[in-house]
Amino acid sequence: DERNVLSVDGIETTFATNVVGHHLLYRLLEPLLLNSTMARVVSTASVAGMIWVPKELQIASTSVQDLNEWEPSLLFNWSPGFVQPFYKYGRSKLAQVAWSKALTRRLGEDSSIYVNAAHPGAVATPITTKHLHFYLPEFVQNWRAMLVNNVCWSPEEGALTELYLGVATEEIREKQLRGKYFHPQSVEVTNLYAESVELQENVWNLCEGLVEKFL
């Protein structure tokens, strides 16, 4: 089923790439991070985690089977092959914010690890300029390219919020920026969906179960 491609580990590919892989990387690096003077963990999330979030996603899947078999409700009569990738991307980006909050709670207020997530904004990268172009008429592609070039952030501008969360150590420590979510440029916002502790715990526990054999 092209709408539900799985990774070699049997996990829906978008979630595997954006969430489970990051969880495994963090868990492998955790001993070093805990021994550091001040470590920063920054997840590149997205506003898609606030927009492409159907009601049934407010509580995340608790098993890999549920994760893989989930098919979001469709808007209008749009083609599932066109719409569902957006929802699955949104699911993964919401999970990143929830994951950051779950980890922050586990580390505690006195931890030397500062975990946050950020949306870089609409950035003129290939995912913006080329994604879905096969579905669009040429005149729409041209209009879209013009819009992207004149409205979107440049890649350098899009990196600023993540850089802030990585290098502004004095401000991060002074303001105790932990488990927060930011939009450009370095503006703290709240993703109400990600505030659910149940969602946060479901994301963390699902990821932990999926990577435990590699630890």
pLDDT digits (tens, 9 = 90+) for 86-144: 888 999 999 999 999 999 999 999 999 999 999 999 888 776 666 555 556 777 777 77
Retrieve residue 35's tokens.
Answer: 């021994």
d(CA 101, CA 205) in angstroms, rounded, equals 13
Retrieve residue 169's tokens.
Answer: 């150590």
pLDDT in tens, 80-102: 666 778 888 999 999 999 999 99
pLDDT in tens, 52-84: 887 666 566 789 998 888 877 665 555 666 677
**pTM > 0.85:** yes
Q: Is residue 61 a contact partner of residue 11, using CB atoms and an 8 Å limit? A: no
Retrieve residue 160's tokens.
Answer: 């600023």
Q: Is 16 strand, coil or helix?
A: helix
